[in-house]
Amino acid sequence: MKTLNKTTLFLILTFTISFLLAGIYKLAGGTGPGTGVYTLFGAFYMFIPTICALLVKRLIHKENASKDLMVSFKINRWFFVAWFLMPVIIFSTLGLNILFPNVSFNPEMTGFLDRFKDLMTPEELEQAKQSMLSTPIPLPWIMLFMGLFAGITVNGLAAFGEELGWRGFLLKSFQHMSFGKASLTIGLIWGIWHAPLILMGHNYPQHPEIGVFMMIALCTLLTPFLLYITIKSKSVIAAAIMHGTMNATAGISIMAIDGGNDLTSGIAGLAGFITLAVFLTGLFIFDRFVSKDNIFSTKIADHL
C-alpha cells in the first residue's frame, strides 16, 4: 500500500503542477513553439517529473533517491546502444517515409524549411535555404553529429528531467508488473502528460487536437525501448541519453522529403510509428532468442 501511495502522490503532483503551470502560461499570453519564451517554458516543463519524484522520495518519504531511481553513471555497452539506436530508427523512418503516397525525396532538403514558413519571415526563409544549399557537408550528417553530441549533453540533460520520473520512479513503482503491462501503463501516462504542450502546437502544429492522441501512441511505442535500456544498463541515465538523442535527431526524419503532414511524416507521424513497431519486433526477437533474458515476458522485478 505504501508503494501505491507514493505512486499516486507522484502522479497527482506531476499532473497537477504540469497542467496548472501550462494553464497559467497560456492564460498569461504564452506563445507556442518557435519562440524563446516557449522554449524556456518547455524546458522547465520537462523537469517537473524529476522535481515531483524527488519531492516524494527525499522530502516526504526520506528515501535514497539516487539508488531507488536507478541513477548510475557506471557506463556499459547499453549506454552506447542507447546513444546510437535512435539515429538508426530516425534514418529508417526517413527511408520509409519516402515510400508514402504524395511524398517525394528532396535531396536539396529545402522542403524541410518550408515546414517552418509560419515561424520565419520570407527573407529569413530564403536566407536559410541558401545557407543550406551552400553547406559543403550534407545537412543530415551535420545534424547527426550535432544530435549525437546534444544527446549526451544539453538534450540528454533535458530528457533526464522526464526520465527520472517515467523510467526511474515509475519503473520501480510498477516493478511487480510484467514488462508489457508496465510499458503500456507508463506509455499512456507519459503521453497524456504531454497534452498541454501538444495543444499549444508542439510536434503536431497542423493537427493539435488529433496530435494529443498521436503523442499518446508515440509514447506508448517508445516506452518499451526506454524501459528495456534502463533495465539492461541498470541506469536511467542511459534512457535519458536515448531520449535526448532522439529529440536532437528527430528532424532528420523529415529533412529530405516533400509532402505529407505532421500526422504522417517523421518519427512522430505514421511513418515513425511503423518504423518503431518494426524495431520493437526486432527487440523482442533479440530479447527472446539472442539475449535470452525474456524481459518482455517476465516481471520487471526479476531483472532489477
Q: Which residues span the domain enclosing 198?
A: 69-303
Q: Is residue 28 part of a domain?
A: no
Q: What is the pTM of this model?
A: 0.92
Q: Is residue 267 part of a domain?
A: yes
Exposure on the CB side of residue 16, measured as CA atoms within 13 A: 7
Overall domain count for the chain: 1
As beta bridge partners, residue 104 has 258
Q: Is residue 35 part of a domain?
A: no
Q: Is residue 16 part of a domain?
A: no
Cα separation, 49 vs 43, whole angstroms: 12
Residue 128 one-letter amino acid: A
Q: Write out the chain's pLDDT in tens, 304 residues.
A: 344 589 999 999 999 999 999 999 999 999 888 788 999 999 999 999 999 999 998 877 777 767 789 999 999 999 999 999 999 999 999 999 999 998 988 877 766 666 666 666 677 666 766 666 667 777 788 899 999 999 999 999 999 999 999 999 999 999 999 999 999 999 999 999 999 999 999 999 999 999 999 999 999 999 999 999 999 999 999 999 999 999 999 999 998 888 889 999 999 999 999 999 999 999 999 999 999 889 999 999 999 8
Q: Is residue 232 part of a domain?
A: yes
- And the C-alpha cell for 1? 500500500
Closest alpha carbon to 220 in 191, 182, 242, 187: 187
Q: What is the pLDDT of residues 260-298, one digit of tens each?
A: 899 999 999 999 999 999 999 999 999 999 998 899 999
Backbone angles phi, psi at 256, to 5 degrees: -110, 30
- And the C-alpha cell for 290? 539472442
Q: Give yes or no for a contact between 200 and 33, defined as CB atoms under 8 angstroms apart.
A: yes
Q: Is residue 282 part of a domain?
A: yes
Q: Is residue 148 part of a domain?
A: yes
